[in-house]
Chain A
Amino acid sequence: MSEILLKIEGLHVNVGEKEILKGVDLEVRAGEIHALMGPNGSGKSTLSNALMGHPAYTITSGKVSYKGQDITSMPTDEKARLGIFMAFQYPVAIPGVTVTNFLRAITKAKRGVEQPAREFRQEMNDAMKMLNVDPAFAKRYVNDGFSGGEKKRCEMLQMAMLKPELGILDETDSGLDIDALKVVCEGINKVFNPSMGLLIITHYQRMLNYVKPHKVHIFVAGRVAASGGSELVDALEKEGYDKFIKIGV
Chain B
Amino acid sequence: MQTEDKSALRAELKSKVDTIVKDDYAFGFHDDDVKYTFKAQKGLNADIVRQISKLKNEPAWMTEFRLKAYAIFVKKPQPTFLSTDALEKIDFDDIFYFMRAQDKQSTSWDDVDAGVKRTFDRLGIPEAEQKFLSGVSAQYDSEVVYHSVRDELTKQGVIFTDMDSALREYPEIVKKYFATIIPMTDNKYAALNSAVWSGGSFVYVPKGVQVTIPLQAYFRINSDNMGQFERTLIIADEGSSVHYIEGCTAPTYSNNALHSAVVELIALKGSKIRYTTIQNWSKNVYNLVTKRAYAYEDARVEWIDGNLGSKLTVKYPAIYLMGERASGEVLSIAMAGSGQHQDAGARIVAKASNTSATVTSKSISKNGGRTSYRGLVSVDQGCKNVRVNTVCDALLMDPDSRSDTYPTMRVDEKDVNVGHEATVSKIGDEQLFYLTSRGISKDEARLMIVNGFIEPFTKELPLEYAVELNRLMQLEMEGGIG
**Which chain A residues have a beta carbon within 8 Å of chain B's beta carbons?**
52-56, 75-77, 79-81, 85-86, 88, 91-92, 94-98, 100-102, 104-106, 109-110, 114, 117, 121, 138-139, 141, 158, 162
Say yes or no for B439: interface residue by CB 8 A criterion: yes
Q: Kindly state whether residue B47 has any CB partner on chain A within 8 Å.
A: no
Measured CB to CB, the closest approach of chain B to A168, in angstroms, equals: 10
Chain B residues with CB below 8 A from A77, complex form: 436-442
Contact A117 B451 (CB under 8 A): no
Residue of B nearest to A84 (CB): B437
A158 neighbours in B (Cβ, 8 Å): 438
Q: Check B434 against A95 for contact (C-beta < 8 Å).
A: no
User: Which of the candidate stretches B5-13, B140-148, B410-418 sits at the interface with the other chain?
Assistant: B5-13
Min CB gap B350→A, angstroms = 30
CB <8 Å contact, A117 and B437: no
Whether A94 and B449, one on each chain, are in contact in the complex, defined by CB atoms closer than 8 angstroms, is yes
Tell whether A96 pairs with B453 under 8 Å between CB atoms, given A52-B437, A77-B439, A162-B438: yes
Given contacts A94-B435, A158-B438, 4 further A-B contacts (CB under 8 A): A77-B440, A92-B434, A96-B456, A109-B444
Other-chain residue from B435, B436, B437, B453 in contact with A95 (beta carbon distance below 8 A): B453
B434 and A88 within 8 A (CB): yes
What residues on A are CB-neighbors of B3 within 8 Å? 139
Q: Are B436 and A80 in contact (CB under 8 A)?
A: yes
Question: Nearest-CB distance from A146 to chain B (Å)?
Answer: 13
A101–B10 Cα distance when bound, in Å, is 11
Leading 4 A-B pairs by shortest Cβ distance: A96-B452, A96-B455, A80-B439, A109-B439
Contact across chains for A55 and B433 when beta carbons are under 8 A apart:
yes
Q: Which residues of A contact B435 (CB under 8 A)?
A: 94
Q: Is B429 an interface residue (CB 8 A)?
A: yes
Residues of B417-441 at the interface with A, using a CB-CB cut-off of 8 Å, are 429-431, 433-441
Q: Which residue of A lies closest to B438 (CB)?
A: A106
Among A96, A110, A117, which residue has the most Cβ atoms of chain B within 10 A? A96
Whether A94 contacts B431 by the Cβ 8 Å rule is yes
Cβ of B434 and Cβ of A91 under 8 Å apart?
A: yes
B455 & A76 in contact (Cβ 8 Å cutoff): no
Contact (A80, B437) CB under 8 Å given A96-B452, A121-B4: yes
CB closest residue in chain A, given B15 = A114
Chain B residues whose C-beta falls within 8 Å of the C-beta of A54 in the assembled complex:
429, 433
> How far apart are A50's CB and chain B's nearest CB, in angstroms?
12
- Chain B residues positioned under 8 Å from A75 (CB to CB): 436
Which of A52, A98, A100, A101: most chain B CB closer than 10 A? A101
Interface Cβ pair total, 8 Å cutoff: 91
Query: In this complex, what residue of A is CB-closest to B455?
Result: A96
In the assembled complex, the Cα of A67 lies from the Cα of B442 at a distance in Å of 25
What's the minimum C-beta distance from A88 to chain B, rounded to whole angstroms? Answer: 7
8 A-B contacts, Cβ less than 8 Å apart? A77-B440, A92-B433, A96-B454, A100-B7, A102-B448, A117-B12, A139-B3, A162-B439
Of the residues A56, A109, A117, contact of B438 by C-beta under 8 Å: A109
In the complex, what distance in Å separates the CA atom of A96 from the CA atom of B437?
19
Q: A80-B438, A91-B434, A117-B12 are in contact. Are A141 and B452 (CB under 8 A)?
A: yes
Whether B439 pairs with A97 at a CB distance below 8 angstroms is no
Measured in the bound complex, the distance between the Cα atoms of B438 and A92 in whole Å is 12
Set of chain B residues within 8 Å of A138, measured between Cβ atoms: 4
Interface of B is mostly: helix
Residue-wise, chain B 250-267 has the 8 Å CB interface mask toward A (1 for contact) of 000000000000000000
Contacts of B430 in A (CB 8 A): 92
A141 contact set on B, CB distance < 8 A: 452, 455
The answer for the CA separation of A91 and B453 in the assembled complex, in Å, is 18
Whether B440 lies near A109 (C-beta < 8 A) is yes
B448 neighbours in A (Cβ, 8 Å): 94, 97, 102, 105
Chain B residue nearest to A98 in the complex (CB)? B7
For B15, the chain A residues whose CB sits under 8 A away are 114
Residue in contact with A104 in the complex, picked from B11, B431, B441, B452, CB distance below 8 Å: B11
Distance (whole angstroms) from the CB of B412 to the closest CB of chain A: 36
- Chain B contacts for A85, CB-based, 8 A: 437
Closest to B425 in A: A95
Q: Which residues of B contact A53 (CB under 8 A)?
A: 433, 436-437
- Give complex CA distance A226, B282 in Å: 65
User: How far, in whole Å, are A94 and B450 apart by their CA atoms in the complex?
Assistant: 10
A110 and B439 within 8 A (CB): yes
Q: List B residues 3-30 near A (Cβ within 8 Å).
A: 3-4, 7-8, 11-12, 15
User: Which residues of B are found within 8 Å of A94, using beta-carbon distances?
Assistant: 431, 434-435, 448-449, 452
Residues of A within 8 A of B456 (CB): 96
For A88, the chain B residues whose CB sits under 8 A away are 434, 437
| Central interface residue in A53, A55, A94, A121, by most chain B CB within 10 Å | A94
Tell me the complex Cα distance, A141–B456, Å.
Answer: 12
Kindly list chain B residues whose C-beta atoms are within 8 Å of the C-beta of A109.
438-441, 444
- Collect the chain B residues with CB atoms within 8 Å of residue A121's CB: 4, 8
CB distance from A73 to the nearest CB of B (A): 14
Measured in the bound complex, the distance between the Cα atoms of B455 and A102 in whole Å is 13
Q: What residues of chain A lie closer than 8 Å to B437, measured between beta carbons?
A: 52-53, 76-77, 79-80, 85-86, 88
Residues of A within 8 A of B11 (CB): 101, 104, 117
Q: Mark B447-466, 1 if CB is under 8 A from A, else 0.
A: 01101111110000000000
A160 smallest CB distance to B (angstroms): 13
In the assembled complex, the Cα of A117 lies from the Cα of B454 at a distance in Å of: 24
- Residue contact A100 to B4, C-beta cutoff 8 Å: yes
Say whether B451 contacts A96, CB under 8 Å: yes
* Residues of chain B contacted by A55 (CB below 8 angstroms): 429, 433
Most buried by B among A77, A86, A91: A77
Q: Which of B435, B438, B451 has the most CB of A within 10 A?
A: B438
Chain A residues with CB under 8 Å of B8's CB are: 117, 121
Chain A residues near B442 (CB-CB < 8 A): 77
CA distance A248 to B200 in the complex (A): 78
Q: How many angstroms from the CA of A91 to the CA of B433 in the assembled complex?
A: 11
Query: In the complex, which residue of chain A has the Cβ closest to the Cβ of B393?
Result: A95
Are B440 and A106 in touch, CB under 8 angstroms?
yes
A139-B444 Cα distance, complex, nearest whole Å: 21
Measured CA separation A54–B430 after assembly (Å): 8
The complex places the Cα of A75 from the Cα of B437 at a distance, in Å, of 9
Residues of A within 8 A of B440 (CB): 77, 80, 105-106, 109
- Min CB distance B298 to A, Å, is 32
Query: CA–CA, A56 to B428, complex, Å?
Result: 12
- Closest B residue to A75 using CB positions: B436
> What separation, in Å, do the CA atoms of A30 and B131 have in the docked complex?
54
**Could you tell me the distance in whole angstroms from the C-beta of B193 to the nearest C-beta in chain A?**
36
